[in-house]
Structure 1
């Protein structure tokens, strides 16, 4: 389906069209990967480690109909339509901002050290009770991914839910001012990327950049029990702030929380008679659900309607995901990302699960903790209860700190530390795991523990 003409894109980006007299060429999609194009696509040659302009022939061969171009026009293919712009990334962002205003959906921006992806999924489920929705897919949550997400939304979208990630200061500022959210959500302040910010204070400052683009009547939703945020939200009028949490000081708080092996039940103060069931375990997921419910309230969705949608919501893959493992085991895959806070939370949850088999925990390095890495890994070690774990397998050089801290609490036959090649660890796990065992796998994405998950899955015959 045609979304734009070449002329519209050029006007949106202050670009100039070359090499075609037909300014009404239909463009249905965009891509910055020359291998992932189809007829009617606009190729965006980004300049990073490699110069995307070098792949223009590949883009044309794969069906591109036009391209942004920031190199001299003379270097462009002579018989291929281009839009000359000053900077291809800026043009992508300008184009996304123009399209967002043209479609004019309600905009929700979500950031936080942990929980932003789950909160995004829950918020999309809640808003789908009343609106046609579109949301960030996968990890497209940065200065490239967010405009790509916006440009991927259908014209009939009524509410868009945008995840906003960061690793440095000013990144959330760029995303917020591009998206101009009606509602901004901060899920929590943890230790993720503390290597780049030096402290949780620095992280809080960076997360608060989400209000930089907040509409003049927009609302900020945040965990009220986080003092670092409570201090900083004083810049906003009281009527533009909503809080969630566990105490009666918050606008929305949870009661009667019951965590089960595959689900979580709770009630809230604004609808105490209603039982809300999440199809995902972990008490910390209640916090994410509270944020989503508050977004729903801002957009006129009842708590009852939100509860019905939350009962059916789908988590993004690799987030606290139960998978059938080989040999009749069950894998709890949470290996997409990790911080000290999220690792401690999932360990606490795993300790509560009842099973007829063994409990096996596989933990990989938590990355981007900088000078605080050893201290924060030691903090994780303090959360490991030997009484609730049968086997503990640790992977990576940073996990050596955890191994040294906890090895005295375990039978030495039931604790192992590996680094480098994962094959010895996989071989050990495959010898150890038996029917009815449950296996938790948690790590930062950079350690690629997802590779281990794949090796431990039940293989289906085709």
Structure 2
């Protein structure tokens, strides 16, 4: 999103794919050419001191910290440690740099004062009244949102085809970055309606009467919770089928976050839960404990098993959410949902 908005005015090079760690980031930087004006570099964070090392390599002048949420918890004792690891980016910025943080997230909102008091230029984004780049009057529309975008005293109405609250927040982060590099609000507003989700990151596909929400790229507890909330809000003519995969590297949090995911599927009244991976049993337990009928809960070891079970049982009007860590390969379930042939009775045939 950030690269797309910056391309309005600049020749941009962005990290391709997920080249964001100690090996991937240098490869991304090697793609820079003399005519590039801006580099948008993604930095991975799976342990302490990782971002600080990457920042030494990339030498950023603008740092964007979107949120602090449970992720890679096998390497961190608590969320404060996650915040400290992400805050390494703020610490590495020069005094003349720009720090962009999420005003709706207390951990990131506190970073300018706690971790980067030397950085003079701070931009906050979010829905909170304190945000410099802010969204108000949000209304859910087909596959996205309509809202008023405020940058300082200027405001414009936006139609954004990015589903879920995370889509709005990510757009605001990108907008804050574009604003810091002097892209006008009118040009940002015009570009907003053209933005689309990246593959496997919330894209909505329709295959006949079947709707697929493909979130198979990755998963964390907060992202899983938000995906299920968005799933519940999306209108459907048929059943809601949640296909949820393991969330990896959660350490001591593993049991609870997977039970919570299953419980959330029950809370939103999903008609079926297909849990996939080593923690499928934990998700199944959480769903059952929260009142989901046992006959609507199914656990599978692999994505292939889940896909084989689901495809022939799909019915007209079904909506399917697919979300899990990348290593679970739920994109194979997504592919099965969108490519299975439809019989004359409207039921997917094997």
| CA displacement at 1:192 relative to structure 2 | 1.1
Q: 1:178 and 2:74 equivalent?
A: no
The DSSP-based 3-state class of the residue aligned with 1:345 is: helix
More moved, 359-368 vs 240-249: 240-249
- Relative to structure 1, the CA distance from residue 217 to residue 449 in structure 2 (aligned partners, 3 Å threshold; closer, same or farther) is same
Extract unaligned runs of 5+ from structure 1.
1-121
Task: State the TM-score, normalizing by the size of structure 1.
Answer: 0.69
- Relative to structure 1, the CA distance from residue 315 to residue 137 in structure 2 (aligned partners, 3 Å threshold; closer, same or farther) is farther
More moved, 444-453 vs 399-408: 399-408
Q: Is the 8 A contact 1:140 1:149 kept in 2?
A: yes
> Could you tell me which residue of structure 2 aligns to residue 260 of structure 1?
141
Please give the residue correspondences for 1:227-238 in structure 2 after superposition, counting only pairs within 5 Å.
227-234=106-113, 235-237=116-118
> Could you tell me which residue of structure 2 aligns to residue 441 of structure 1?
322
> Could you tell me which residue of structure 2 aligns to residue 145 of structure 1?
24
Q: 1:133 and 2:133 equivalent?
A: no
> Could you tell me which residue of structure 1 aligns to residue 193 of structure 2?
311
| CA displacement at 1:363 relative to structure 2 | 0.4
C-alpha offsets along residues 214-260 of structure 1, whole Å, 9 cap, x if unaligned?
A: 23300110112333334432132573222112221222221011223
| CA displacement at 1:307 relative to structure 2 | 1.7
| CA displacement at 1:454 relative to structure 2 | 2.5
Q: 1:214 and 2:93 equivalent?
A: yes
> Could you tell me which residue of structure 2 aligns to residue 406 of structure 1?
287
Q: Is the 8 A contact 1:257 1:283 kept in 2?
A: no
More moved, 296-305 vs 310-319: 310-319
- Relative to structure 1, the CA distance from residue 261 to residue 397 in structure 2 (aligned partners, 3 Å threshold; closer, same or farther) is farther
> Could you tell me which residue of structure 2 aligns to residue 377 of structure 1?
258
The DSSP-based 3-state class of the residue aligned with 1:195 is: helix
Task: State the TM-score, normalizing by the size of structure 2.
Answer: 0.89
Question: Using the alignment, how far apart are the partners of 2:265 and 2:232 within structure 1?
Answer: 9
The DSSP-based 3-state class of the residue aligned with 2:334 is: helix
Q: 1:193 and 2:72 equivalent?
A: yes
Q: 1:429 and 2:328 equivalent?
A: no
Q: Is the 8 A contact 2:245 2:325 kept in 1?
A: yes
- Relative to structure 1, the CA distance from residue 416 to residue 245 in structure 2 (aligned partners, 3 Å threshold; closer, same or farther) is same
Q: Is the 8 A contact 2:265 2:273 kept in 1?
A: no
Question: Using the alignment, how far apart are the partners of 1:273 and 1:180 within structure 2?
Answer: 33
> Could you tell me which residue of structure 2 aligns to residue 16 of structure 1?
none
Question: Using the alignment, how far apart are the partners of 2:195 and 2:72 within structure 1?
Answer: 28
Please give the residue correspondences for 1:321-336 in structure 2 after superposition, counting only pairs within 5 Å.
321-325=203-207, 328-336=209-217
| CA displacement at 1:422 relative to structure 2 | 4.1
Question: Using the alignment, how far apart are the partners of 2:111 and 2:268 within structure 1?
Answer: 41
Q: How many residues align?
A: 337
Q: Is the 8 A contact 2:311 2:340 kept in 1?
A: no
| CA displacement at 1:386 relative to structure 2 | 4.6
Q: Is the 8 A contact 1:259 1:283 kept in 2?
A: no
C-alpha offsets along residues 295-350 of structure 1, whole Å, 9 cap, x if unaligned?
A: 1111111122112222212432211122344x742221101100000000010011
| CA displacement at 1:385 relative to structure 2 | 4.2
- Relative to structure 1, the CA distance from residue 437 to residue 316 in structure 2 (aligned partners, 3 Å threshold; closer, same or farther) is same
Superposition RMSD in Å = 2.1
Question: Using the alignment, how far apart are the partners of 1:236 and 1:199 within structure 2?
Answer: 24
Question: Using the alignment, how far apart are the partners of 1:186 and 1:373 within structure 2?
Answer: 25
Q: Pick from 372, 393, 408: which aligns with 2:274?
A: 393
> Could you tell me which residue of structure 2 aligns to residue 117 of structure 1?
none
Q: Is the 8 A contact 2:266 2:292 kept in 1?
A: no
> Could you tell me which residue of structure 1 aligns to residue 178 of structure 2?
296
The DSSP-based 3-state class of the residue aligned with 1:383 is: helix
Larger Rg: 1
| CA displacement at 1:191 relative to structure 2 | 0.8
The DSSP-based 3-state class of the residue aligned with 1:332 is: strand
Q: Pick from 165, 172, 191: which aligns with 2:44?
A: 165
| CA displacement at 1:423 relative to structure 2 | 4.1
Please give the residue correspondences for 1:62-141 in structure 2 after superposition, counting only pairs within 5 Å.
122-141=1-20
Q: Is the 8 A contact 1:261 1:354 kept in 2?
A: no
| CA displacement at 1:351 relative to structure 2 | 0.3
> Could you tell me which residue of structure 2 aligns to residue 250 of structure 1?
131
> Could you tell me which residue of structure 2 aligns to residue 350 of structure 1?
231
- Relative to structure 1, the CA distance from residue 447 to residue 199 in structure 2 (aligned partners, 3 Å threshold; closer, same or farther) is same
Q: Is the 8 A contact 2:67 2:107 kept in 1?
A: no
The DSSP-based 3-state class of the residue aligned with 1:380 is: helix
Q: Is the 8 A contact 2:210 2:317 kept in 1?
A: yes
Q: Is the 8 A contact 2:46 2:72 kept in 1?
A: yes
More moved, 272-281 vs 196-205: 272-281
Extract unaligned runs of 5+ from structure 2.
342-350
More moved, 350-359 vs 251-260: 251-260
- Relative to structure 1, the CA distance from residue 384 to residue 452 in structure 2 (aligned partners, 3 Å threshold; closer, same or farther) is closer
